[in-house]
Amino acid sequence: MIDLRARATDPEALDLGVAPEEALRSLADLRFVNRWLGNRGRLLGAVLPYLRSSDRPRLLDVGCGSGDVAVALRQALGGPLAAVGVDIKLLHLQAAPAELLRVVADAHRLPFAAGTFDVVTASLFLHHFDQSELPDLLRALYALARRALVVNDLRRARVPYVFGKAVFPLLFQSRVSIEDGLISIRSSFREPELRAAFAAAGVPSVRIERSWPYRLLAIAEKPPA
């Protein structure tokens, strides 16, 4: 039986590097997950009020993959949005629509000034990092946001793991998505782990909500200036 007591630290194949065609198939699988299994509505619902209350809304999506989360936010906002997507892989950004301002960068060294964006989002991204890396990363992402940092990630549990083992091979086009999907569930968070990472980052107030299906949504709002 799989041991899910601690976060796994196995690297994901997409991060290590796979053939470009395989990576593109896996990114398509991720877009499928985001659309049908990711409770995108909950993420949009958390982010849109901050963007709507801004005169010139600006969004940063870190570890954006092929950019579908930022594009969905742009469409849902229905007005002008300067949306920047950052990813460490050029290939992933090349698969993103041109309406997104695409920046190749490592999330540990982002080329933006503090408070540049109304909202910074990190979706299915934080579980790629060891617990010891999270405080610096969260501190840096929070500093870039004027209104809020919003994190959407998986909640580690047996049910999604068993579901994934049975169903990912039927749902996904790419073998990388099947393997990485299961690693992602094993490396993801229990609520106290995510809360502890925000606390260690010195982020003063964070609201963490469970959302269907086995997701954690963390909203770290900035105090009014």
Question: By C-alpha distance, which of 127, 124, 156, 153 is closest to 216?
Answer: 153
- 6-11 own/partner pairs: CB under 8 Å, 24+ apart: 7/127, 7/131, 7/156, 7/186, 7/187, 7/188, 7/189, 7/193, 8/183, 8/186, 8/187, 9/130, 9/187, 10/183, 10/186, 10/187, 11/183
**Cβ of residue 33: shortest distance to ligand SAM, in angstroms?**
7
Task: Name the E strands within 48-91.
Answer: 58-62, 82-87
**Count of residues of this chain found to bind ligand SAM when the rule CB under 6 A is applied:** 19
**Cβ of residue 124: shortest distance to ligand SAM, in angstroms?**
4
Residues 99-118, one symbol each (x = binds ligand SAM by CB under 6 A, - = not), give -------xxx----------
The answer to whether residues 112 and 60 touch, using CB atoms and an 8 Å cutoff, is yes
Could you say which residues in the range 14-43 bind ligand SAM, by CB under 6 A?
Answer: 15, 30, 34
Closest chain position to ligand SAM (CB): 65
Residues 47-66, one symbol each (x = binds ligand SAM by CB under 6 A, - = not), give ----------------xxx-
* Residue (16 or 166) nearer to ligand SAM, CB: 16
* Residue (73 or 124) nearer to ligand SAM, CB: 124
* Residue (57 or 181) nearer to ligand SAM, CB: 181
Residues 115-154, one symbol each (x = binds ligand SAM by CB under 6 A, - = not), give --------xxx--x--------------------------
115: left (phi over 0), alpha (psi -120 to 50) or beta: left
DSSP lists the bridge partners of residue 119 as: 59, 148
* Residue (18 or 77) nearer to ligand SAM, CB: 18
The 3-state DSSP class for residue 187 equals helix
* Residue (1 or 90) nearer to ligand SAM, CB: 90
Footprint of ligand SAM (CB under 6 A): 15, 30, 34, 63-65, 69, 86-89, 92, 106-108, 123-125, 128
